[in-house]
Chain A
């Protein structure tokens, strides 16, 4: 009896220990990243304080940006807009270019995934242009369109092509043979095999391509807008640098980062809805 009691007591005293790790985990997930962010802020502060006179300290940058943060949608005359408007202008360019790129990239990727001859024909073009920085297309676009806005959209269009083309082709070419065997045994006509088997089976790959495309497009738009000027978050950064207002640049960096995060998250939501499977971690 006594031994039983003792073991029970031991079990009870042991219990909190075994519960702790699962209890600690969510806290860890907040505390550890917070520490990392603090380290970054510390480095920023040290650099701003001791190495340069142009850079604001984190706190000063925050205070300087309070107006932008609390009034993201002000209009104080031409070219003096809240950061929300600038963000929307950039987002609009990216989304139009990305959608146009997707409309071309998915069918082309599908085609070269299905047909080895199309792959032989088109693959060299893809391989040649894929490593080219999309910004290099800007002068060509400007020569065609003569306008900043369509040129920026064109550059995003080109940017969005390659990852989606490559991943779609890969997805289509690597549909498990088992699925195609099922289709064949069921005597599915070729067209329905494409819509009912090959398309849904390659969707996860296509979404991987879309996520890469959109991520790069969002990177590229900042550079493009710096060059083209006009309204947009990229030009805002360049403009503020010319006024030596570094605080606004830091704000833009944070806003661009958060927006990129949200764009990626939005695609994973669409992917989950479209494929009924969780998105792969990238």
Chain B
């Protein structure tokens, strides 16, 4: 693909990006036992590598197993065969080095915004002094503009604010990798765009490995370095991986004016439509 001159700004992180196979998904199969006898295969032979500073989006129709893939990477679910390796060592159980941002936020409703972030920091950063933990919490609340709402309870927040707490909580424990399960899926369009920008800002300042599940092609192109497109389940596998040729930091308006953006978008939508027709 051609790089647009509009996006020729050099960014440091891209050089280091593909040097290591930071996260490796190898021959991964996930199957559930079913009543009929033959197990239902959800994910069939997935192979994927993610660089240390790479933003990966995984896109596919509902029920294609993309969330299951993310859960296996997080350790919340186990692969039937094959494996996932983070920096060479196999992932067997959940860990704070792969922090999740949940679609339904998963904030604890009996804790304030600050206490929600603090709980995560207390659990993971037990080597830090209470003072350093406080600093860490405040820093990340400020990062997502929630300092003013720090004393509020999740019930009192809008969806967008809740997800900002989820993001602050995830980033505050300094994970090696961020796993996002349709993080903007439950938000209205305006809030979604705003929050995408905010997350991208944070990521552009401190790039790290991100795996994001989405069903929104525009979101994937705007945010990700590569887009993994899944075929429909059962027996879902990786249909195609798209390189997104635009450099960071990205400007949504400028992106929309470029021809490549539309080529990419049409290609991705074509892929999804193709599978959608097969399904129906």
- Taking Cβ atoms with an 8 Å cutoff, the residues of A that contact B are 176, 178-179, 181-182, 184-188, 192, 196-197, 200-201, 203, 275-277
B178–chain A nearest beta-carbon distance, Å: 11
- Do A277 and B110 form a contact, CB below 8 Å, given A185-B94, A187-B124? yes
Partner of A197, one of B96, B99, B108: B108
Residue of A nearest to B120 (CB): A186
> Hey, which chain B residues are within 8 Å of A197, CB to CB?
108
Residue of B nearest to A197 (CB): B108
Q: Is the interface of B mostly helix, strand, loop or mixed?
A: loop
CB-based closest 6 A-B pairs: A178-B106, A184-B94, A186-B123, A200-B110, A185-B94, A182-B106
**Between-chain CB contacts (< 8 Å), 15 pairs:** A178-B106, A181-B76, A181-B94, A182-B106, A182-B108, A184-B94, A185-B95, A186-B120, A187-B94, A187-B96, A197-B108, A201-B108, A275-B110, A277-B153, A277-B155
> Hey, which chain B residues are within 8 Å of A186, CB to CB?
96, 119-120, 123-124, 173
Please state if A187 and B106 are interface contacts (CB–CB under 8 Å).
no
User: How long is the Cα–Cα vector from A115 to B30 in the complex, in angstroms?
Assistant: 28
> Hey, which chain A residues are within 8 Å of B108, CB to CB?
179, 182, 197, 200-201
B104–chain A nearest beta-carbon distance, Å: 6
Q: Is B74 an interface residue (CB 8 A)?
A: yes
> Hey, which chain A residues are within 8 Å of B74, CB to CB?
185
Partner of B110, one of A181, A185, A187, A203: A203
B207–chain A nearest beta-carbon distance, Å: 22
> Hey, which chain B residues are within 8 Å of A179, CB to CB?
106, 108
Please state if A187 and B95 are interface contacts (CB–CB under 8 Å).
yes
Residue of A nearest to B105 (CB): A178
> Hey, which chain B residues are within 8 Å of A185, CB to CB?
74-76, 94-96, 98-100
